[in-house]
Amino acid sequence: MLVLLRRVYRDRKGAETLLEASHEGGLITLGHRNDQTLQLHDPQIAPRHLTIKPLSGGRFSLRAVGAASMQLDGVSVRTAVLSPGQKVELGAQELGVISAPAGFGGALQLTQIEQAQNFGPATHFQTRLDQTGLRMRANAWLLVLLAALLLGLPLAGFFNPALGGWLRANTPLLSDAVWSSGPLANAHHTLEIDVDCNGCHLKLFETTPDRGCLGCHEGQKGHVDVTVHAVPQLADAHCASCHKEHNEPAMLVREDTGLCVDCHRDLQQVATHQNGGSMAHPVLGFEPGRHPEFQLALLRFDAELKAWSTERVRPSADVVASESSNLKFPHDVHLDFKRVQVRAEDRALGCADCHSLLSDGEHFRPITMEANCRSCHGLGFDEEEPERQLPHAQVRAAVLALEEHYIRQFADTAKTIEVGQRNRRRPARVDVDPCPQGALACGRERAEIEAHNQFTRSGCVTCHEVSEHPERAVYERWQILPVRLVSDFYPQARFDHIAHLTRRDTRAEDDATCIGCHAADVSGASSDVLMPGIDGCVTCHGEQRGSQNVQLDCTGCHGFHLPAGTPMQAVGPSPHAASAATAGVEQ
């Protein structure tokens, strides 16, 4: 079950800051320990205070751990089942169940005051030996012997792998596990790493080298293609420079803006283009004037080569971006209740009726005729036989189907039709012969007329770009240009649609959330690019967190390891140095 976790921080002046995250899985934990799902810095909260289990109908089961408790309607309880609208008190915090937005099975809101000033090592932990009840002199020699034991045995286990393995399995306190500065990140809790420090630390008391990482992460892409860009600074960049293990709270990926801006503020000074091309625009942060306009990836069709290519376009006052999908589709018509309705439900067509989100939360399932269009747009051509449908986007097959249909009709003596008219059933008349040339010739002639109507007037041409070649045979006279829709307008960025469905100023059941960013309701042509630019993002996001701002760092949208990057290498002084040297020789 996907659960929305909303935290509301309220300072002493009443100002609120909102943070939201999603949790997928089973149990949710709450306490002041750093491994809790909801961590609270409050001296009244135990290290592991509550366990929370999602139930059906947006409800949650709460159970206190150990001697902990909670206040429900002024009564101290240890267990409770909360429905939407109910809440409990936990020290200076309130934990409540709220209505779940679309896409979530439940939602929790934790309202808390900023970290209490009386919480810290001096008040919440024992930091001096005399606080433990032990006498210093009486235990001094015991501690010295214990320290020697804790250092000597792990060291012996390092040089003797068999002894080291036995110590880790049977006496963890006397193995080299005690040297760890903190727990492993969840991603590294594997059998190979959990029980063997040497799997990453190839030399005693040294930082993990790149080859210690790439032994598992083989083929990991780097940041740039070194045959295109030369970046000397990357020669000194190692895996451990950015990915810090054994830290608390566990954070394997740097998220500070400096990770990107330190170089991207002036790429001309830190990198060169091997082929003489231009470098990327400077980036100083995520604010108007400090970040360039987003660059679109648009598809272009070459009619002569009959091939698609991708063009990168950065919209500006002088550059207007447009799509060329070869599809005719007015969004405004399809979203207008007066013109298009879902008849079974008596409502307007909505965004979600065609656009279905994939499990990655970013992309959508491809739009196809069969899945999204045929339920409204049939391919029938004969009102008397509506079940007869033309093949989709196949000119030759469509013409042959028309010929078969009309030859059969002209050969049917129970029907009387004329070559140049729409089909109508009439009583048989023996004194009239509407087809003196024979059923084959008349059927083909009538099929050609209907094909011309389908491809140039009111059929296929309604949605497709169709080119006509009158000099060709009827089976090749029309060409339907292939249709391809852009699947990712911003391939160098990430976007989480699920997180943005929880906007508090919209309702999930209407299209306001979608139209707030994509102005589809006023788009009358499929050439319109309905993707928001940076101005649409900075209205809600910024570099600093605030009451009206959601903080967004570079890594919120961008990654360091790019698909086009040269694979990281485990040999040499750094993953990039050897590749850069090779590229220099080739040049």
**What mean pLDDT is predicted for residues 111-123?**
56
Cα of 330 vs its chain's centroid, Å: 27
β pairing state of 79-82 and 60-64:
antiparallel
pLDDT of 15: 77
Residue 309 binned pLDDT confidence (cut-offs 50, 70, 90): very high
- Of the ranges 165-174, 396-405, 432-441, the best mean pLDDT one: 396-405
Q: Report the pLDDT averaged over residues 150-173.
A: 77
Dihedral, CA of residue 359, residue 360, residue 361 and residue 365, to nearest 10: -60
pLDDT for res 422:
47
- Token couple for 242: 């950015």
pLDDT at position 573 is 42
Distance separating alpha carbons of residues 87 and 109, to the nearest angstrom: 9
65 CB neighbour count, 10 Å cutoff: 15
Separation between Cα atoms, residue 132 and residue 273, nearest integer Å: 63
- The listed range with the strongest mean pLDDT (116-125, 364-373, 509-518, 544-553) is 364-373
Band of residue 13 on the pLDDT scale cut at 50, 70, 90: confident
Give the pLDDT confidence of 182-216 residue by residue, as tens digits.
788 888 888 778 777 788 888 877 888 888 898 88
Give residue 509's pLDDT band: very low, low, confident or very high (50, 70, 90).
low
Q: Which of 342, 450, 359 is nearest to 404 (CA)?
A: 450
Place of tokens 């959601």: 550
β-bridge mates for residue 51, sequence order: 29, 63
Confidence of residue 143 (pLDDT cuts 50, 70, 90): confident
Top pLDDT among 60 and 134 is at: 60
Question: Going along 13-78, which residue ranges are E strands?
Answer: 16-24, 28-31, 38-39, 50-54, 60-64, 70-72, 75-77
**Can you tell me the distance from the alpha carbon of 162 to that of 176, in angstroms, rounded to the nearest whole number?**
13
Give yes or no for a contact between 313 and 323, defined as CB atoms under 8 angstroms apart: no
Q: What is the pTM of this model?
A: 0.65
The better pLDDT of the pair 140, 414 is held by 140
Q: State pLDDT tens for residues 252-287.
A: 888 888 888 988 988 888 888 777 777 778 999 888
Q: pLDDT confidence of 52, banded at 50, 70, 90?
A: very high
Q: Which of 1, 11, 3, 12 is nearest to 30 (CA)?
A: 3
| HSE (side-chain half, CA atoms, 13 Å) at 118 | 4
Length of the chain: 587
- In tens, the pLDDT along 326-382 reads 999 999 999 999 999 987 888 899 999 999 999 999 999 999 999 999 988 999 998
Average pLDDT, the chain: 83
pLDDT at res. 570: 59
Structure tokens at 82: 């909360």
3-state secondary structure of 306: coil
pLDDT at 420: 54
Q: pLDDT by residue (tens digit) across 404-421?
A: 999 998 887 655 555 555
**What pLDDT sits at residue 398?**
95
DSSP line for 393-456: T-HHHHHHHHHHHHHHHHH-TT----TTS--------TT--S-TT-HHHHHHHHHHHHHHHIII
Interval 19-34 mean pLDDT: 88
Structure tokens at 131: 């606080």
Task: Please state, in angstroms and rounded to a whole number, the distance separating the CA atoms of residues 116 and 96.
Answer: 21
- Output the pLDDT for position 503: 65
Distance, in Å, from the CA atom of 439 to the CA atom of 408, rounded to the nearest integer, reads 8
Average pLDDT over residues 552-559: 90
Strands 60-64 and 50-54, by their bridges, are antiparallel
Q: Find the angle CA(528)-CA(532)-CA(535) to the nearest 5 degrees.
A: 130
For the segment 483-488, the average pLDDT, to the nearest whole number, is: 95
Are 291 and 499 spatial neighbours (Cβ–Cβ below 8 Å)?
A: no
Q: What is the pLDDT of residue 504?
A: 57
**Residue 345 in tokens:** 């439900």
